[in-house]
Structure 1
Amino acid sequence: MNTAATTEDLSKISPQQARELFRDGLVVPTAGISLGYAQANLMIVPKDMAFDVLLFAQRNPKPCPILGVLDAGETSGPLLKGGDIRTDVPQYVVYENGVAIDTPTDITSYWRDDFVTFIIGCSFTFETALLEANLPVAHIAQGVNVPMYRTNVRCESAGKMGGPLVVSMRPMPANLVPDAVRITSRYPAVHGAPVHIGNPEELGITDINSPDFGDPVVIPEGQIPVFWACGVTPQAAVMESKPSIAIGHAPGHMLITDAKDSQYLVP
């Protein structure tokens, strides 16, 4: 297949077409693909750990807003009609005892009938609204994955799940930061308003050019870093909590759902 497709080429395809491309082997960060449709993080765990994940999400709704849950063994659902959660994300991360052991493009060989899938809101969803308001989205403009960072902010633990808040960063011109706050605050189901603006060291981030996940972006002169809660947070909790097995999406390589961004917009 042609893996040289640009984000511009992919921006207008349907979620089903995007998932088919990923199923066929396209591996790219999904920011800017199928604009207008919600993207989502994944956390897949055995059923005996599912309550801890659900409670962790309930206690930490900013980084872990749940859009849907597939019951034990289910591989499809309303957010990906006709799709397969095992193949329709461009890349996954498989954890054993908190250590990433594989980054496959297909998790069929790891699948278990007791796996429960949590579909978690993603900030890529509100990027369409930012772009429509002529606000910059640096990682899309620069053709890289969004930068993500572990912070010194602790999430509230739940059972065996505990770990740090992870944030994504988008630099903004200082005069446009209020617009970015206003626009994203209307999407609480996909992380909502920023959790921090400005000095990254206040979050324990010592080098803005060395993200823990994703890629660094160039911060133009006159722009300041703006940080949003990130759905990679459950994976950071998995790394710290060390369950026997868990599977997530590769950071920035999201599930593109059939839900419209507008479904998560509040007045």
Structure 2
Amino acid sequence: MIRLERAPLPPDTVAHLRTYTEQIERTVESDRKARAAELWAHTTVRRRVRDGLLAALAGMAPGHQRCMYCGDSQGTDIDHFEPKSLAPARTFEWLNHLLACAYCNSNQKRNLFPRSEEDGSPLLLDPTLQEPLDHLRLVLPVGEYKGLTPRGEACLAVFGLNARGVLVDGRRTAYETAKESVELWRIATDRGQHDKAAKIVRVAWNRPLADVLAAMFHQADHRVADLLFVGEEETLALLRDRALRAAFLSRA
């Protein structure tokens, strides 16, 4: 996961979302779950809100409309962060919508929504509200995450971020590719090929698993970075270069 900024919605989509939320809120509480499910599945309702929601979510998503949870597959589903079966009144709430791939949405998350036993707060990370790198640390050469907090641990469990071998293998490959990108940027910049350097940055962020690139810059700035990058001192030096960081992180 990488930190994302929530985009504005088209005014007509906002109006439709508000209308359907009001309809659910006017429904007897015991019937709200069924009413929310009925409205969300209704052809006319989906036609009025789906395109606006998907367009906004696609613009927010990493890479080319990648899943906001795994960062690998194409985001095809409008996911209700807090499932509509548990919070029907939030079914049409913009702040409760994220873009997910079908696997993360239907096979992994489903209706799971763990909460803290201490205060009842959600344990899953919403990348539009929290910085995932504060809760998850990627062991770069290995391609696996370590949970730093209960939120991070919950995400590992619910989304199977380490249990899905294709994700782990993909992150290892993405790490090698990302290292090549920063090296190529340095070469192009030293040669005065600034358009080429800008293209390298753009392509690097648009690849699947952009969380690997984000983790590299985050860890290079960590107080124990020298330990995290043992044996990869050249890569660390590049990641600490001010001009390179400015070029890449301005696109994050």
TM-score by length of structure 1 reads 0.25
Instruction: Using structure 2 for the length normalisation, give the TM-score.
Output: 0.26
Question: Relative contact order: is structure 1 or structure 2 higher (C-alpha 8 Å, sep ≥ 6)?
Answer: 1
**Higher normalized strand content (fraction of residues):** 1
Higher helix share: 2
